[in-house]
Amino acid sequence: MPSLRVLGHAFRAWRRNRTWAKHEPETPYLADLLSGAPVCLHVGASDGRHSYVMTQVAPKARIYAFEPSAFAFEVLKTCVAWHGIGKQVTPVHAAAADKPGELLLVTPKKSSGRMGRAYAYVAEARPEGRARPDLDDTGMDVQPTPVLTLDAFCAEHGVDKVDFIRMDIEGAELRALMGAVGILDRDRPHVLLEIHPAMLAERFGASGEAVLDIFRDRGYRMFALNGDRLEERTTLVEGLPWKDYFFIHPSKSARLPDGVFKARMAA
């Protein structure tokens, strides 16, 4: 039986899903990417809100939802059960990186005293000083979490095609993508990726440019929202601690559902 805290968090997420409330601005664009029976990887799934949206815009989708936090994983499983989408969504308790094993999950404590679960990230050792360079946190919780590579997971579970990846993992995006280059090279999936330049630089010894190079080297095109307008970009938006970007490969443009991405890719 889930704890009362898990049930409380799950109920808020379930209610927001049912009323389509407080979704991220990129969420409506998923319908322009998913059709048929896509196979999706939701990396950093949290309470599974993007997984839920995928099941609504593509009812035949198959989704693997990866979540490293033990608490959030229980919330995720509860939400999947309450929504009745267990045949479509498979929760996986793990972080994604460039090699398998175990890392620490660092969860900042906010100035309000609540845990900043949306800002949790993986690390090899407990950070000294502040939990994150981009937050005014007042402490942190540290717990071990299992780690896998997306390439190995798909090979071990017979996932021979990936159509879409949603990834929001607070600075670990380069490491996770390095563990998914086989998928990127084989399938050229659509990707919705939140990029965190400060976290990449100060906690992972990487950069936003290194993340973009993964896609540039494979010929992807990049898009981002500017207000309510979707624009093609070749660089990151400056001055933001994080932002979501869509990556679409030209080889998949003809198979896109009719919509804004298909129009942009034809331009």
pLDDT at 250: 97
Within-domain flag for 25? yes
Q: Which residues of the chain have pLDDT under 50?
A: none
Residue with structure tokens 């059709």?
35
Torsion angle of C-alpha atoms 233, 64, 52, 184, degrees rounded to 10: 20
pLDDT at 267: 79
Per DSSP, the chain holds a count of helices (H) and strands (E) of 9, 12
Within-domain flag for 114? no
Residues of the domain holding 43: 4-98+147-266
pLDDT at 163: 97
Number of domains making up the chain: 1
Q: Is residue 133 within 8 Å of residue 242, measured between CB atoms?
A: no
Tens digits of residue pLDDT in 37-52:
999 999 999 999 999 9
pLDDT at 221: 98
Within-domain flag for 106? no
Q: Which amino acid is at 28?
A: P
Question: Which CATH number characterizes residue 193's domain?
Answer: 3.40.50.150
Q: Which amino acid is at 213?
A: D
Within-domain flag for 116? no
Q: Is residue 71 within 8 Å of residue 117, measured between CB atoms?
A: yes
Residue 41 CA: distances (Å) to CA of 51, 66, 135, 182, 221: 9, 8, 28, 14, 20
